[in-house]
Structure 1
Amino acid sequence: MRAIRFASGMSLRELARRLKVSPATVTALEKGYTTMTVDRLHEIATAIGVSPSELFAAGPPSLVPTDVPNVDAMNWKQFTDPGMDVILRAALTCIFRKGYQGCSIRDIAEEAQSSVSAMYRYYPSKQAILVALIDLTMTDLLRRAKAARDDGAPGNPVQRFSQLVESLALYHSCRKELGFVGNSEMRSLETAHLPALVSKQVSLQRMVDTEVREGVDLGLFTTNRPREASRAVVNMCVAIAQWYDLTSGEPPEQIAADYVRFALDLVGYRP
């Protein structure tokens, strides 16, 4: 909180004025002498003019730089903190451990060290939390897949397909929990939320379909069932989140390299 206030150029007295508290109270909050509730964090973020997620984020806080690179130029092989707020982090932990139906809104609140009433200021229901989690997952996954595909040479479906597979495999290894919940809990979404999220799922599949079809048309892939092979490849990569263990010592990069070879065999690639 203090680092973000400094970075924004706001004085302690100005923040106290905006929060309608004494400067001593702000000092106590910054030094951890008094309890920092979710409601108070939201008020502070609003007063300073930053996203609440900046104050929720683990690790040293910092302001979002104004020169964030375009997503097309992102390094799709690097996985930094996904920027979830404390409630989404808690929900991810609970849902991954117990399943959506197995955890309650109170479980999530306890994991977030918050009250249920405070959580409702951010998310009106447990369903809203799930929607936010899956949307975050699918958006991130889709952006990375596009960046990986476009990193390949136009007209080279082998390279573009291989990098798509590498991206999917890396994601479901490095972001195992998000990948697992994003895939397994689609069934828990209410009807109203399905179309938008399913469309992202379909867009991802279409990207892989396109490269496989082009590879077949150019005689580079020999499968006589490109549609089924493409779906098998995506399902194979998504399933990594079900079994991969980050503590196993096997690096995600090795998993991804192996899965690229598996995928090329599935589509019948013959160098």
Structure 2
Amino acid sequence: MARDGGTRPADATLGAQVRAARATQKISLRALSRTLGISPATISQIENGRTGLSVVRLGQIADALNLTVPQILDIVVDPEAPEIPPTSVPTGPPTAPTPPANESDRSDWRTYAPLDFDPVLRAALEEFLEIGYHGATVRGIASRCGLSVSGLYHYYTSKQHMLLTILDLTMTELLQRARAARDEGRDPVERFSLLIEHLALFHTHRRELGFVGASEMRSFDTENRTKIAGMRTSQQRMVDEEVEAAVHDGRFRNDHPHEASRAVVTMCTALPNWWRPDGPLSAERVAQQYVGFALDLMQYTSP
């Protein structure tokens, strides 16, 4: 998003395309703003290229104009054409955006809503799952989400950018839920058990993300691999810390707790390889079993 009154060329072009589409459909700026539930000033900022557009918002605008996203992106415009003066629309406090589901409070860490990805990321995830990262093409991903290749590039610069965004969102959600689960525990054993329950639930309810995370780390360039690996290490370290504390308290008696901790986490991250929602075991039942397996592996001693 441009700041301090500046614009990016891509935002200016897309804004001009939105303005041209609205004019073609003979819909006023005020009417469009009412349909979308945002202020006229915000629409003006979009059309003048001063506010970036998400894929979701562009889809909403297309629906409001009775057009498709490709139809808007195919409009030929001159982004240097005179702007609509901001003073031509009433000003007021902007409408607060609705936070995405994967940025919401994770206090109820056992509850999973449907995956809330924008259409491009959803298409990329489907493509990676079906034919793998190296077999996937930007054209194929664009076709899945109804965009032109040039339209897709407005949001994501490459397949690598899409993969990084998918796994960054994945690991962010994983760590948020892990902290919420750990915070419910009253002692190291309980915190360890809650973390294992969380990992098992995540890798069943979010098995698609878990599968891509496990299979496509090799597809990252060095910088991006380091970033995602660092987030994975943070999750592992949470489990390690509770194992170390439980060993110190005499509650875990495994002679190799460090290695056992990694074995337990790996056991959970492997769930996407075999668990299916239509199988004989629910995600919750698997999580309960895995907590038992983990405690047995640690040679848990009840006080």
- What is the RMSD computed on CA atoms of the aligned residues? 3.1
Aligned to 1:64: 98
Scaled by the length of structure 1, the TM-score of the pair is 0.78
Aligned to 1:138: 171
Gaps of at least 5 residues in structure 2 are: 1-30, 49-59, 74-93
Q: Residues 105-149 of structure 1: CA distance to partner in whole angstroms, max 9, x if unpaired?
A: 112111112111111111111111111111111111111111111
1:184 aligns with 2:215: yes
Distance (Å, rounded) in 1 between the aligned partners of 2:173 and 2:142: 25
1:266 aligns with 2:300: no
1:80 aligns with 2:125: no
1:93 aligns with 2:126: yes
1:231 aligns with 2:262: yes
For the Cα contact (< 8 Å) 1:223–1:267, is it kept in 2? yes
Query: Quick one: which of 181, 204, 213 aligns to 1:173?
Result: 204
| Deviates most, 170-179 or 193-202 | 193-202
Letter aligned with residue 190 of structure 1: D
- TM-superposed CA distance for 1:222, in Å, is 0.9
Aligned to 2:281: 250
Change beyond 3 A, Cα 1:270–1:38: farther
- TM-superposed CA distance for 1:36, in Å, is 2.9
Scaled by the length of structure 2, the TM-score of the pair is 0.71
Structure number having the greater helix percentage: 1
Change beyond 3 A, Cα 1:259–1:14: closer
For the Cα contact (< 8 Å) 2:103–2:173, is it kept in 1? no
Change beyond 3 A, Cα 1:129–1:65: closer
Change beyond 3 A, Cα 1:122–1:258: same
For the Cα contact (< 8 Å) 2:133–2:216, is it kept in 1? yes
Query: Quick one: which of 241, 246, 254 aligns to 1:215?
Result: 246
Letter aligned with residue 144 of structure 2: E
Change beyond 3 A, Cα 1:227–1:177: same
Query: Quick one: which of 195, 199, 213 aligns to 1:164?
Result: 195
Query: Quick one: which of 199, 202, 214 aligns to 2:233?
Result: 202
Gaps of at least 5 residues in structure 1 are: 21-26, 41-48, 52-62
The number of aligned residues is 240
Change beyond 3 A, Cα 1:9–1:101: closer
Letter aligned with residue 37 of structure 2: S
For the Cα contact (< 8 Å) 1:165–1:260, is it kept in 2? yes
Q: Residues 11-51 of structure 1: CA distance to partner in whole angstroms, max 9, x if unpaired?
A: 6x99599649xxxxxx99446743233966xxxxxxxx789
